[in-house]
Amino acid sequence: MENDTRNLVDEYKGMSNEQVFEALSKKRNELEIAIENVEHDFNVGTIVRSANSFNASKVHIIGKRKYNRRGAMCTDKYLEIVYWADYKDFIQDQKKRGREVVAIENNTPRAQGLVSKKFVRETTLVFGSEGEGITQELLETSDDVRYIESFGSTRSVNVGVAAGIAMYEWARQIVLR
């Protein structure tokens, strides 16, 4: 335990990666995360790390399979990560399982402020890459589209930051209430 240098809370120190995965699996939240348009983006690693912090039940990677795992700080070992070739199979899976798909995207007229969102337990939050964002097709098939309100001169926050904010808002409403 004392020699375990992984970024783990004390409860999991000294456990193998598989044991940590199993321990977390016993108390996973219903939240799922999806990331589309991945292009070796360090932000994807950040999103995966945040998903672990909120103990999300799954992370879906739509499109390319490679991403910069350094940003995840090995937390991808403690999560179920599912890969989808395209958005259609992903959406079909979500609908079949009765999940609400909420895209976080600021560059579309359909988006409403996150402040007014009333989350349901079975939510999947969708994020796009820093440059391309979420594809129009996935936005159109999402149940809801939200943006994070900002007050400075920039139009948006970094996608890794946005993911953390949206995950926290879900947790605030569902887990912490």
Share of the chain above pLDDT 70, in %: 90
Q: Count H helices, E strands: the chain?
A: 5, 7
pLDDT 10s digits, 20-71: 999 999 999 999 999 997 665 678 888 998 999 999 999 999 987 555 555 4
Assess if residue 70 is contained within a domain. yes
What are the helix (H) ranges across the chain?
17-25, 42-53, 87-96, 136-141, 159-174
Residue written as tokens 């890794």? Answer: 160
Assess if residue 17 is contained within a domain. no
Which two tokens mark 132?
């391309």
Rounded to two decimals, what is the model's pTM?
0.92
Assess if residue 23 is contained within a domain. no
Backbone angles phi and psi of 166, in degrees to 5: -65, -40
Query: Cβ distance 90 to 62 under 8 Å?
Result: yes
Q: Which residue range forms the structural domain that includes residue 152? A: 28-174
- The count of C-alpha atoms lying within 13 angstroms of the C-alpha of 10, restricted to the half-sphere facing its C-beta, is 1
Assess if residue 22 is contained within a domain. no
Cα separation, 138 vs 126, in Å, equals 9
pLDDT given at position 40: 57
Assess if residue 9 is contained within a domain. no
How would you class 18 by CB atoms within 10 Å of its CB: exposed for 0-12, middle for 13-18, buried for 19 or more?
exposed
pLDDT given at position 164: 97
Which of 91-95, 107-111, 128-132, 169-173 shows the lowest per-residue confidence on average (mean pLDDT)? 128-132
Number of compact structural domains in the chain:
1
Query: Cβ distance 84 to 60 under 8 Å?
Result: yes
Assess if residue 111 is contained within a domain. yes
Q: Say which CATH number the domain at 97 has.
A: 3.40.1280.10
Assess if residue 18 is contained within a domain. no
